[in-house]
């Protein structure tokens, strides 16, 4: 059971964004999609969700081509937490989370007791129960991120794609969100996240995919991907590394060169 993209090419208005990128998200794994700004991470994530037109390449969901699934069927299998967690109306938190049940409801169908049960569970998992009646406009960035995760979780999809779920969060909420995502993967979900924090990426992800100029530069475990050569080539940085209780960590440290402006 895998969500897969093979050899994806995307060109938007004469800009080539992806040049044959591939990824694979098996159930039960937390996969980190990393790379510098403009490498094509968000585009690849959106391609996997069917949100961008691809020029070539195949996307498959549980061995069946994504295009063979209806929108509704896809929605039941893959959930998405968009970058910046946009909400356009001052809605209350419980209502927002309930929107995650839409894939399972007919247009006129109301939320049932079973749905409410799942909403409660999702709020417990994401520690948002106390926010249920708050308006989303009154939440902090960290609270908002957790609410959006609850909304994605409540759809009971096998796969979750999250675009920079921890961007601009404080360390507490970064770790909280990564813990939630890790738990989801341990719970046999396939989780794909775009992220910039290499320290957390190394610590939490089962596998990393390093994108560089629209291509996959390296893929594998954090040790295989975050090598000094790869960091230099993709990010033009050097990292400092240390060990604690038998685990190894790294932190971006110094600029090692200049990006070549294409």
Residue number, 32 or 100, with CB nearest to another protein: 100
- Cβ burial, residue 63 (10 Å; 0-12/13-18/19+): exposed
Residue 92 within binding range of another protein, rule CB under 8 A: yes
Residue 144 within binding range of another protein, rule CB under 8 A: no
Q: What angle do CA 158, 71, 194 make, to 5 degrees?
A: 50
Residue 75 within binding range of another protein, rule CB under 8 A: yes
For residue 168, the minimal CB distance to another protein (Å) is 17
CB neighbour burial string for 207-246, b if at least 16 within 10 angstroms, e if fewer: bbbbbbbbebbbbeebeebbeeebbebbbebbbeeeeeee
Mark residues 152-191: x for contact with another protein by CB under 8 A, - for none: ---x------------------------------------
Give which of 170, 196, 200, 199 is closest to 182, Cα–Cα.
Answer: 200
For residue 36, the minimal CB distance to another protein (Å) is 23
Residue with structure tokens 């060990």? 243
Residue number, 79 or 128, with CB nearest to another protein: 79
The answer to whether 30 and 83 have CB atoms below 8 angstroms apart is no
For residue 85, the minimal CB distance to another protein (Å) is 9
From candidates 56, 68, 137, 251, binder to another protein by CB under 8 A: 137
For 78, 173, 186, 188, the CA distances from 155, given in Å and listed in that order, are: 9, 22, 17, 15
Residue 90 within binding range of another protein, rule CB under 8 A: yes
Residue 151 within binding range of another protein, rule CB under 8 A: yes
Stretch that binds another protein, among 26-34, 72-80, 185-193, 233-241 (CB under 8 A): 72-80
Element (H, E) at 120: helix 113-125
For residue 49, the minimal CB distance to another protein (Å) is 6
For residue 247, the minimal CB distance to another protein (Å) is 35
For 23, 43, 46, 129, the CA distances from 218, given in Å and listed in that order, are: 11, 18, 20, 40
For residue 84, the minimal CB distance to another protein (Å) is 9
Residue number, 72 or 241, with CB nearest to another protein: 72
Tokens of 26: 């098996």
Stretch that binds another protein, among 27-35, 60-68, 102-110, 177-185 (CB under 8 A): 102-110
The answer to whether 5 and 78 have CB atoms below 8 angstroms apart is no
From candidates 51, 65, 124, 255, binder to another protein by CB under 8 A: 51
d(C-alpha 228, C-alpha 218), whole Å: 12
Residue 129 within binding range of another protein, rule CB under 8 A: no
Provide the binding-site residues for another protein, judged by CB under 8 A: 46, 49-51, 70-76, 78-80, 82, 86-92, 95-96, 99-100, 102-103, 105, 107-108, 135, 137, 151, 155
């Amino acid at each position: 059971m895998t969500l897969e993209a093979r050899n994806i090419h995307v060109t938007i208005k004469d800009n080539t964004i992806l040049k044959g990128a591939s990824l694979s998200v098996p159930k039960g794994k937390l996969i980190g999609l990393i790379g510098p700004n403009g490498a094509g991470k968000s585009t690849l994530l959106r391609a996997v969700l069917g949100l961008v037109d691809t020029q070539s390449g195949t996307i498959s969901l549980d061995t069946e081509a994504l295009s063979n699934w209806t929108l509704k069927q896809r929605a039941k299998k893959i959930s998405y937490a968009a970058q910046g967690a946009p909400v356009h109306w001052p809605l209350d938190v419980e209502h927002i989370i309930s929107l995650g049940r839409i894939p399972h409801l007919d247009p006129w169908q109301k939320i049932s007791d079973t749905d409410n049960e799942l909403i409660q569970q999702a709020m417990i998992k994401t520690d948002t129960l106390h926010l249920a009646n708050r308006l989303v406009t009154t939440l902090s960035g960290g609270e908002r991120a957790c609410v959006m995760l609850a909304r994605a979780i409540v759809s009971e999809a096998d796969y979750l794609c999250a675009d920079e779920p921890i961007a601009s969060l404080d360390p507490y909420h970064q770790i909280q969100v990564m813990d939630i995502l890790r738990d989801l993967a341990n719970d046999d979900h396939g989780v794909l996240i775009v992220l910039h924090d290499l320290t957390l990426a190394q610590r939490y992800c089962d596998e990393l995919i390093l994108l560089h100029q629209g291509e996959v530069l390296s893929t594998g475990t954090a040790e295989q991907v975050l090598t000094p050569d790869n960091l230099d080539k993709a990010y033009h940085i050097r990292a400092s590394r240390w060990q604690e209780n038998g685990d190894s960590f790294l932190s971006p440290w110094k600029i090692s060169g200049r990006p070549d402006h294409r």
